[in-house]
Amino acid sequence: MVFANAPVDNANLCGTIDYQAFWMVPDAEGNLVKTPVPASGGDPLSYNPATLEWTADTDDISLLDYNFGIYPIMVDATLTSYKQANYPTVTTATKATTIDFNDACLDPFDFNTNSINQQNATPNKYTGTLISVPVSLYAIEPPQCAIVYSCAGVTRVDGQPSQISCADFVVDENAGVWDFSITANDSKYTGLVWDPAVYSVTILGTAVRSGETLTSNFQLELVDPCNPPNSITAPTLLDQNYIITTPAASYVHEAFSVDPAYCPLEYANSVTLLANGNNAVTEGATNSRTFSFYYDSDLTPADETEEIQTITVTASSKSLYTYPAGELNSISASDSFDLSFDSPCSHADLVTITSTSQTQPSNAAIVDGSAVVFTYNPFTVSPSFCPLQVTCANVAGPSGNTASCPAIDPSTG
């Protein structure tokens, strides 16, 4: 800012006039001290005695701390050829006024967000690490005018209600650098507190002195860590053996592991059938990882072909959140185990043979020497389909007489 004093026309009478400018500056005790003003380059004031112009140029906002920024200024005029040191009675003149340093920040020349593109937060999978977003500062003129930044609101880009609010952010300033920070840990996911979504955060910048405000936005994306998870690992499923007709046996396989561990899994099974179309496998309730085995129809699975049934278990990833069709990226892992069969007939503790009363041959046949025919009344066996081998153990007669055991004709007994 430049302003001029009206000159005193005295040059024709007593020669030229010298001009020296001063301003009154408070010292540490608040007393005003008359301080010379340089001819050029001064901060906050310069005075050019040739043009009689004052120049005010400063960025020192602290000038406003004294008397609301109003300071006395003055110009002393003395005759160049008649200095008071040599001519004590010579006439001098002082013209005084005040300068009012206005606060330009009360009405900034410019305050805008032109060309400001706020940096978006790095997408986060509820890792629990601090998410920090630096603020791209707004432009203001003069640049020394202070701006404070705060959160003005949080919305979801998809239009759904936002579970995150400004209260969840910490807005901090350090040496002129502002940032927004927030922490999303896994409990925010597992507790269904903050949905996986893209959130738009509104930054409010307020010019401190003028109260003017401007807004801009950055985005925070919370990514579903289960869509998809990092991995699914199948355990080693154990082969099973079942003895036909014994009470139902059960098998609970080890759970598949998933990373992150809190991601839900859904199990599905496929079972091959026996050659005769029968099935000895019963699947438990969904996701119970339980199977039971029972078969009592015949010994076919345990015969020489040694049939097996193969059970394949597949675990597929799910999310704690519901997605429209096609938007859930599931991964899966599988493993299998075999069910083999054993015959109960080869286990003595599982087979019961019950003898039956036999029919005595005719005594007449014994006496007249004709062939004695003994009709075998079959023993019973449980399980009934276990084969029996029937042999003659001995033929004992009276008085210790014995006879050789003939071969048994299975067609006649």
Confidence of residue 399 (pLDDT cuts 50, 70, 90): low
What is the rounded average pLDDT of the residues 169-177? 95
Mean per-residue pLDDT of the chain: 90
pTM value is 0.70
Q: Is the pLDDT of residue 412 over 60?
A: no
- What domains can be seen in the chain, in order of their start residue? 2-102 (2.60.40), 110-222 (2.60.40.10), 231-346 (2.60.40.10), 351-403 (no CATH)
Rounded CA-CA distance 20/94 in Å is 9
Preceding peptide of 344 cis, ω within 30°? no
Q: Which of 117-131, 139-153, 218-232 has the lowest mean pLDDT?
A: 139-153
pLDDT for the residue 7:
58
Note if the bond before 44 is cis, omega within 30 degrees.
yes
Three-class secondary structure of residue 153 per DSSP: strand
For the beta sheet containing 240-243, the strands, ordered from the edge strand earlier in sequence to the opposite edge, are: 240-243, 332-342, 308-317, 265-271
Average pLDDT for 286-307: 92
- When computed from its CA atoms, the radius of gyration of the chain, rounded to whole angstroms, is 53
DSSP string, 154-204: EEETTSSPPS--GGG-EEEEETTEEEEEEE--HHHHHTT-S-SEEEEEEEE
Give the tens place of pLDDT for each residue, 70-111: 999 999 999 999 988 899 899 899 999 999 988 888 888 889
pLDDT value, residue 369: 61
Q: From 65, 48, 49, select the one nearest 101 (Cα to Cα).
A: 65
Provide the pLDDT for residue 207.
Answer: 94
What is the band of 389 on the pLDDT scale with cuts at 50, 70, 90?
Answer: confident
Of residues 306 and 288, more confidence is placed in 288
| Bond before 26 cis per omega within 30 degrees | no
Read off φ and ψ for residue 252, nearest 5 degrees. -110, 115
Quick check: 374 and 413 in contact, CB under 8 A? yes
